[in-house]
Amino acid sequence: MTRVLSLIVEEPRLAISDMALWGTQADWIELRLDHAKPDWELETLFAASPKPVIATCLPKEEGGLFEGDSEWRGRMLEQVASFKQTHYVDCPILGRHQVHSGAHRIHSFHERPGKETNWTELEDKMNSSCLEGDLIKIVLWAETEKDARRIWEWYKKSEYPLIGFAQGQGGKHTRIEALAHGAPLIYACAPGQATAPGQFEIGELANLPLEGLSSSFTSLYGILGKPVAHSRSPLLWNSAFQVESKDKIYLTIETDDLRGFLKDCHFAWQGFSVTAPNKLQAMDAAAQHHESATRAGSANTLIRMPGGEWGAANTDGRAAMDVLKESGLPPADSSKAILLVGAGGAARAFAAEAQAQGYSLCICARREEASSSLAAEFGASTSPWGDSPTEEFSAIVQATPMGSDSIPGDPLIGQTLCPGIPILDMVYSPTATPLLVRAMEEGAVPVFGSEMLLRQMIEQYILVTESELMPMALRHFLGPLLTKELPGLPPIVLVGPRASGKSTLGRALAERLGMPFLDGDFCLEARHQKEISDWIPENEAEFRMAEANLLPELLGFRDCVIALGGGVTENESSCDLLAQAERVYFLSASTDSLLKRQVREPRPALTDQSLEEEVRLLLEKREQGYLKASSGRQLNTEGDFATVLEALAVLVAGADTNRC
């Protein structure tokens, strides 16, 4: 198996630079000479290649970019075929000019969208024109995954080694699957320099165990759904494979015809994650069904069984229950039911798992007949949409698309959320859904959809690969990777002393940026139903511990502004956690300014010292912590409010620009 770096040569000097930068990650280099000119020093260009070269120059009518004289093109290809570095020259099977001397040939055909092809002529010519050592290359155009399946028939027709794959939106996975069919080469591009639709970048191939595909040593896995281009699953699965040194590769396959794909897929495929709209098809396609899939009536996991048939499982419900339990869900013998919002496939999977674990449910859906039907199936009660008293429940699970980027809103708007109960929102884009922001403000425990996403992936991974890694180990390794890939940016966090302007500036900045605002102190009071002014004098150690425990939850939100209490950095672990965050800002002011503001707006005393002495002592005690937590990102808040707000907005924008 050979990795080929494909470069379109627009200027020889640029191509030489790209070969030096990226050529070390490839085994061969393809130089596409579609822009070649008579004055180019081709021998110098080829001599600069650190790897063997495939030379090609495709005319526009054959899918390339060359528009010059065809006779000159023919002579140029004959010339480069004689160079020492040239191992192959790529010549169109149906083209007018063939190279007859020097290097071996790749006899190629590239299907063009909207152009009819004489398939009989192509089949006749592809074998008859080959000599020993030559290769055949067939590239089909695939708008859909179904279009891409056509390529596998050509492996049966070719009498010579075939590089056969599909390009276009529906064919990216075929570039790697082709290796399992026996393709000797795989093409990739330099970063941001695709030479054909659907190419992998050369760096993406560097850590994949591609060599084992031709010998059935490497297995393929993937996600089947439509759309799946946004999926973070390949990052998580392939990272886990690398940690375990497993010869496995995970890809995305965008399809709504799961049964058709499974019928034609190579035996190298050993397992799939399944997402919409394929979860019911997965049940129909499977010969065996895990009890989790049978209960849910749908599958999100397919596993290749020893006889070649498929087994189906569903990890969604188990993942949701796991994250709820970690967030404080009481045992199943609790007198309170779980409120399940929604009656679709995700809700059904959760209801099945909750029932299996002995929990009672109350189902609330916009369509009364849908909630009644689901409730009847799982022995649950129902509650009217928009009128579910949350204090009656032990937890809330939001299993509708409401709150997502495409369907904004809060399905429980107008209903008070009970402090202390876990609320899981299965939506994970955005992370800070309106429901979860309100949950934090009202003292409930927000449970992010991204955490459930990670858990169900880990359940799938262990089930499909029979991994011996503990789920917790996978979670600690994969969690930070997923966080970096989530939509939006980490929260803007404001630290600093009392009266430095964290809350007032934070609210104004959030409004300006169109983001939610969270006040850490208010969230603490709502969660524990205690006033901080009473809590600190009674038991400051307990307060500081509660503050430290809440901080990771707050930092889990994205695209929001958070103001933290003045003493948060006194906890060393909290200070270290903030120092690792990317958007923490220290709002500072002089002792005199802080004193004047607190005289104007009195606050409960934190010490038995005079106000002036307390302000001085606390600032002296905490300032280094603020600097450490903010990594030195500091703004003095003295001056006109509008001017300071503008300065803060500029500081944040500048830091974000540098971050990118």
- Eight-state DSSP code of residue 323: H
Q: Name the burial class of residue 578, with classes exposed (0-12), middle (13-18) and buried (19+) by CB atoms within 10 angstroms of its CB.
A: buried
Domains 328-447 and 488-659 belong to one CATH topology: yes
The answer to whether residue 108 scores a pLDDT higher than 70 is yes
Residues 6 or more apart in contact with residue 522 via CB below 8 angstroms: 441
Query: Taking Cα atoms as reference points, which of 324, 326, 318, 349 lies closest to residue 337?
Result: 324
Whether the Cβ atoms of residue 436 and residue 300 lie closer than 8 Å to each other: no
pLDDT digits (tens, 9 = 90+) for 171-180: 999 999 999 9
Q: Give the integer Cα–Cα distance in Å for 634 and 644.
A: 12
Give which of 199, 200, 143, 192 is closest to 169, Cα–Cα.
143
**Distance, CA of 81 to CA of 101 (rounded, Å):** 7
Q: Which of 409, 333, 328, 302 is nearest to 366 (CA)?
A: 409
pLDDT value for 96: 65
Q: Domain 488-659, what fold?
A: Rossmann fold (3.40.50)
Mean of the per-residue pLDDT values for the chain?
93
- Give the tens place of pLDDT for each residue, 449-476: 999 999 999 999 999 998 888 888 888 8
Distance CA 535, CA 449 (A): 32
The pLDDT, as a whole number, for residue 232 is 87
The pLDDT assigned to 341 comes to: 96
Contact by Cβ (8 Å): 165, 178: yes
Unique residue bearing structure tokens 């397919």: 302
Which range scores top for mean pLDDT: 94-98, 600-604, 632-636?
632-636
| High-pLDDT (> 90) share of the chain, % | 81
Residue 274 in 3-state DSSP? Answer: strand
Range 2-217: architecture per CATH = Alpha-Beta Barrel (3.20)
76-103 mean pLDDT: 86
Nearest to 88 by CA among 76, 77, 75, 96: 77
Q: In angstroms, how far is CA 123 from the centroid of its own chain?
A: 41
Task: Return the pLDDT at 659.
Answer: 61
Q: How far apart are the first and last CA of the chain?
A: 36
Is it the case that residue 213 has pLDDT exceeding 90? Answer: no
Residue 142 to residue 148: CA distance in whole angstroms: 5
Average pLDDT (3-22) is 97
Question: 97: pLDDT confidence band, cut at 50, 70 and 90?
Answer: low
- Is residue 660 pLDDT above 60, yes or no? no
Q: For the ranges 37-46, 226-235, 302-311, which has the lowest average pLDDT?
A: 226-235
> In the prediction, which pLDDT does 305 show?
95
Catalytic positions, written as ranges: 279
Residue 216 pLDDT more than 90?
A: no
pLDDT at 604: 81
The per-residue pLDDT for 654 is 85
Token pair in block for residue 341: 């919002």
| Strand positions, DSSP E, 264-305 | 269-274, 288-289, 301-304
- The pLDDT value recorded for residue 468 is 81
Name residue, tokens 């707006």.
Answer: 601
Residue burial 525-551, b: 16+ Cβ < 10 Å; e: rest: bbbbebebeebbeeeeeebbebbbebb
pLDDT bracket for residue 20 (50, 70, 90): very high
Q: Classify 328-447 by CATH class.
A: alpha beta
Tokens of 242: 């690398």
Asked which of 91-105, 247-261, 482-496 is least confident by mean pLDDT, the reply is: 91-105
Domain map (residue ranges) of the chain:
2-217, 218-314+448-486, 328-447, 488-659
Q: Angle at Cα 459 formed by Cα 453 and Cα 460, nearest 5°?
A: 90
pLDDT at 171: 95
* Stronger pLDDT, 608 or 290, i.e. the higher one: 290
Confidence class for position 234, pLDDT limits 50, 70, 90: very high
Q: Which two tokens stand for residue 137?
A: 């290359």
- The model's pLDDT over 430-448, given as tens digits with 9 standing for 90+, comes to 999 999 999 999 999 999 9
Please name the fold of domain 218-314+448-486.
Rossmann fold (3.40.50)
pLDDT of 291:
95
Indicate whether 568 pLDDT > 90: yes
Residue 192's φ and ψ, nearest 5 degrees, are: 70, 15
